[in-house]
Amino acid sequence: MSSKIHDEGSPGAVEPLPTDDDIIIIEHAYKSFGKTQALIDASLRVKRGEVCLIFGPSGGGKSTLLRCINHLERSDSGTIIVDGIPVSDAKTNIDLVRAEVGMVFQLFNLFPHLTVLGNVTIAQEKVRGRSKAEAEQVARQLLERVGIPEKVDAYPGQLSGGQKQRVAIARALAMNPKIMLFDEPTSALDPEMIKEVLDVMLDLAKEGMTMVVVSHEMGFAKAAADRMVFLEGGRVVEEGSPEELFSSPKEDRTKSFLSQILE
């Protein structure tokens, strides 16, 4: 480990030291599904307000790492601390942590039996205990912000993929989360819909939201990411600022992977 002073000159290469700034701390996480090792000694730190992009080949453990943050996946061993709360501790009431961590899924996972408004209000009412009127006001504001105020009374089945994902983002934001997790948010979308979702995410990043994004959208990475993490075979192969990884990756594997997806 090099000292902090040493890195001062090169922006983006700040050594992740354990400070109060780190809202997400994952240390030495292991996870296996049967014989497959999904995570091997994976460690990750995300600072408050940072946008962290996780990328790598499929089966590399990207989604598993992301899902460990809000405990949708239980790590076999290792420490995971989110906003000072040990998620991996069995005594932690995980529901309280999850309420502070929004998540957006690849396949949207909207609730098909509820309207768009219902999707965005239900957790506010049942988890946050907000009144119906208050929840609806928040929902309408958010739907305005993601650009689909006219769809409040539609059902998810009546929306396009891009619209669904924007509702899903609004649904997560309605809980006023401290962190937003995105699990390949644009992978299931038609090309022309990817932009409308990325625009919403860019706005969010500009507003200073802490975001962990699993994605191969390198345009988004260049525009918004503070840090990029390359994951393969369950291991963190390399991490650094977008400038570093795009211009001079340290590992050959990172270089070849990036050159493939940037083609």
Partner 1 sequence: MTIATEVEKSESKLVPWTSRLQKMPWWALILVLLGLLVAYFIFVSPTYQDAFFFLVSGVRLTILVSVVSFVAALIFGLVLGMGRVSKNVVFYTISSLYVEVVRGIPILVLLIYFAYVLTPFSLMLLNALGDVMLRNVAIAPLMGFAERLASLNIQDVDMLVRAIIGLAFAYAAFEAEVFRAGIQSIERGQMEAARSLGMSYFQGMRYIILPQAIRRVLPPLGNDFISMLKDSSLISVLAVRELTHLGKLNRARTFRTFETWNTVAFLYLILTLSLSVLVKFMERRMAFDE
According to CB under 8 A, which one of 4, 113, 206, 222 is a site residue for partner 1? Answer: 113
Closer residue to partner 1, CB minimum distance, 29 or 181: 181
Q: Can you say whether residue 129 is alpha, beta or left, with left for phi > 0 and alpha for psi between -120 and 50 degrees?
A: left
Asked if 98 touches partner 1 (CB under 8 A), the answer is yes
Closer residue to partner 1, CB minimum distance, 210 or 254: 210
Is residue 55 within 8 Å of residue 238, measured between CB atoms?
no
Cα 139 from Cα 108, distance rounded (Å) = 17
Main-chain phi, psi angles of 14, to 5 degrees: -70, 130
Asked if 261 touches partner 1 (CB under 8 A), the answer is no
Main-chain phi, psi angles of 157, to 5 degrees: -60, -20
Closer residue to partner 1, CB minimum distance, 69 or 201: 69
CB neighbour class for 172 (10 Å; exposed up to 12, middle 13-18, buried from 19): buried
Asked if 121 touches partner 1 (CB under 8 A), the answer is no
Which range, of 6-14, 79-87, 98-106, 201-209, touches partner 1 by CB under 8 A? 98-106
Closest by CA position to 170, among listed 201, 126, 134 = 201
According to CB under 8 A, which one of 116, 146, 169, 175 is a site residue for partner 1? Answer: 175
According to CB under 8 A, which one of 10, 21, 127, 132 is a site residue for partner 1? Answer: 127
Q: Map the footprint of partner 1 across residues 24-53, applying CB under 8 A.
A: none
Angle at 164 between CA 55 and CA 93, to 5 degrees: 65
Asked if 126 touches partner 1 (CB under 8 A), the answer is yes
Asked if 172 touches partner 1 (CB under 8 A), the answer is yes
CB neighbour class for 96 (10 Å; exposed up to 12, middle 13-18, buried from 19): exposed
Residue 5: CB minimum distance to partner 1, A: 40
Site string for partner 1, 49-78 (x = CB under 8 A): ---------------------x-x------
CB neighbour class for 220 (10 Å; exposed up to 12, middle 13-18, buried from 19): buried
Binding site residues, partner 1, CB under 8 A = 70, 72, 95-96, 98-103, 105, 107, 109-113, 122-123, 126-128, 168, 171-172, 175
